[in-house]
A and B are shown apart, each in its own frame.
Chain A
Amino acid sequence: MTYAKPVPRINADNRAFWEGCRQHELKFQQCAKCSQVRWPPSDLCPQCHSTDTDWLSSKGFGTVYTFAVYHAAFHPGFKADVPYTVAVVALDEGPRLLTNIVGCPPDQVRCDMPVEVTWQEVDEGITLPKFRPISNDPASAYEPWP
Chain B
Amino acid sequence: MSSDSMMQMLSELSGNDAVFGHFGALGGYALAARRAMHELGTGPETWKKIAVGQRKWANLNPQAMMHDKPLTETDYDQAKWVVEPFRLFDNCLITDGGRAVIVTSLERARDLKQQPAVIMGLGQHHPSTAIAQSDWMAGPTGARQAGKTAFAMAGITPDDVDACQIYDCFTYTVEITLQDYGFFQPGEGRDWLEGGTIEPGGRMPVNTSGGQLSEAYCMGLTPIAEGAMQIMDRCGERQLGPATGTKPPEIILCSDNGGILQSHSSVLLRRM
Could you say which residues of chain A place their CB within 8 Å of the CB of B7? 74-76
Are the CB atoms of A100 and B84 closer together than 8 Å? no
Could you say which residues of chain A place their CB within 8 Å of the CB of B27? 68, 70, 86
Are the CB atoms of A65 and B10 closer together than 8 Å? no
Interface segment, B61-69, B127-135, B208-216, B234-242? B127-135
Are the CB atoms of B132 and A88 closer together than 8 Å? yes
What is the total number of residues of chain A having a CB less than 8 Å from a CB of chain B?
41
From the candidates A65, A78, A106, name the one contacting B137 in the complex (CB within 8 A). Answer: A65
Q: Across the two chains, which residue of chain B brings its CB closest to A39?
A: B133
Minimal beta-carbon separation of B170 from chain A (angstroms)? 12
Are the CB atoms of B21 and A5 closer together than 8 Å? yes
Contact with A along B1-29 (1 / 0, CB 8 A): 01000010011000111111111100100
What is the total number of residues of chain B having a CB less than 8 Å from a CB of chain A?
34
Are the CB atoms of A14 and B137 closer together than 8 Å? no
Could you say which residues of chain A place their CB within 8 Å of the CB of B16? 8-9, 14, 40
Are the CB atoms of A5 and B19 closer together than 8 Å? yes
Contact with B along A40-70 (1 / 0, CB 8 A): 1000001000000000000000000111111
What's the Cα separation between A6 and B38 when bound, in Å?
31
From the candidates A65, A73, A99, A111, name the one contacting B20 in the complex (CB within 8 A). Answer: A99
Could you say which residues of chain B place their CB within 8 Å of the CB of A73? 21
Are the CB atoms of A66 and B20 closer together than 8 Å? no
Are the CB atoms of B83 and A71 closer together than 8 Å? yes
Could you say which residues of chain A place their CB within 8 Å of the CB of B135? 65
Are the CB atoms of B84 and A106 closer together than 8 Å? yes
Are the CB atoms of A7 and B19 closer together than 8 Å? yes
Q: Across the two chains, which residue of chain B brings its CB closest to A65?
A: B35
Are the CB atoms of A67 and B31 closer together than 8 Å? yes
Residues 30-49 (chain B) with a chain A CB within 8 angstroms: 30-32, 34-35, 37-38
Contact with A along B84-126 (1 / 0, CB 8 A): 1100000000000000000000000000000000000000000
Residues 114-146 (chain A) with a chain B CB within 8 angstroms: 128, 130
Contact with B along A89-106 (1 / 0, CB 8 A): 000000110111000001
Q: Across the two chains, which residue of chain B brings its CB closest to A97?
A: B132
- CB contact under 8 A between A75 and B21, given known A9-B15, A70-B27, A111-B34: yes
B153 lies within 8 A of chain A by Cβ? no
A27 lies within 8 A of chain B by Cβ? no
Could you say which residues of chain B place their CB within 8 Å of the CB of A95? 133
Are the CB atoms of A66 and B38 closer together than 8 Å? yes
What's the Cα separation between A9 and B31 when bound, in Å?
23
Are the CB atoms of A98 and B10 closer together than 8 Å? no
Minimal beta-carbon separation of B204 from chain A (angstroms)? 29
- CB contact under 8 A between A84 and B83, given known A9-B15, A75-B7, A111-B38: no
From the candidates B18, B85, B133, name the one contacting A96 in the complex (CB within 8 A). Answer: B133
From the candidates A8, A39, A106, name the one contacting B19 in the complex (CB within 8 A). Answer: A8
What's the Cα separation between A66 and B30 when bound, in Å?
9
Could you say which residues of chain B place their CB within 8 Å of the CB of A39? 133
Residues of A within 8 A of B (CB): 5-9, 14, 38-40, 46, 65-78, 81, 83-84, 86-88, 95-96, 98-100, 106, 110-112, 128, 130
Lowest 5 CB-CB distances: which A-B pairs, in order?
A: A68-B30, A111-B38, A69-B84, A66-B35, A6-B18
List 9 A-B pairs, Cβ < 8 Å: A8-B16, A68-B34, A69-B83, A76-B7, A81-B21, A84-B21, A86-B20, A96-B133, A128-B20
Residues of B within 8 A of A (CB): 2, 7, 10-11, 15-24, 27, 30-32, 34-35, 37-38, 80-85, 129-130, 132-133, 135, 137
